[in-house]
Amino acid sequence: MKVFIDPPNSLILFDLVERSGHEPLSTMALIQEKIENTEIDMPPMNVSPDDVMKGLKYAGIEVPSGVRGRLALWGPMIEEAEAAIIMEDCPYGFGCVGCHRTTLMVRYLIKKKGIPVLNVNYPNDEEEGKELVIKMKEFLEGLK
């Protein structure tokens, strides 16, 4: 199954989803495609007019461009997702958690889609880390 991970650039979530035999939907793969695209000469200035239009599908023109830019990438992934894992209470520097408006919109789109969702808290110690892995493993096994 295709599993959207939030934050979408979390290597921890990506790795755990991939090890379970599912396809993690993440920012890293999308950005790699954009950077390797020969039509774009100057990464990170790799936003096309089509990207701008995609972002407008999820948020109006009055919404800050950073929100629209993120949603241009993440919105289509959410549409493609068959399940999602959301990590709550992440430290500010973990993944892309600096834009609360984008986070709210992503959570809304996931809820609206009605797919299975696992909400987990960011682990603060080794014991919580083990519990996270167990919860994710049980959730991902249940998707098969």
Question: By the 8 A CB rule, do 110 and 117 touch?
Answer: yes
The predicted pLDDT at position 100 comes to: 77
**Confidence at 96, pLDDT banded by 50, 70, 90:** low
**Confidence at 37, pLDDT banded by 50, 70, 90:** low
Report which residue type is found at 5: I
| Distance in angstroms between the alpha carbons of the first and the last residue of the chain | 8
| Per-residue model confidence as pLDDT tens digits over 45-58 | 566 777 778 888 88
Q: What are the boundaries of each domain within the chain?
A: 2-143
The predicted pLDDT at position 1 comes to: 95
Q: Is the confidence at residue 120, as pLDDT, over 90?
A: yes
The predicted pLDDT at position 3 comes to: 97
Question: By the 8 A CB rule, do 113 and 25 touch?
Answer: no
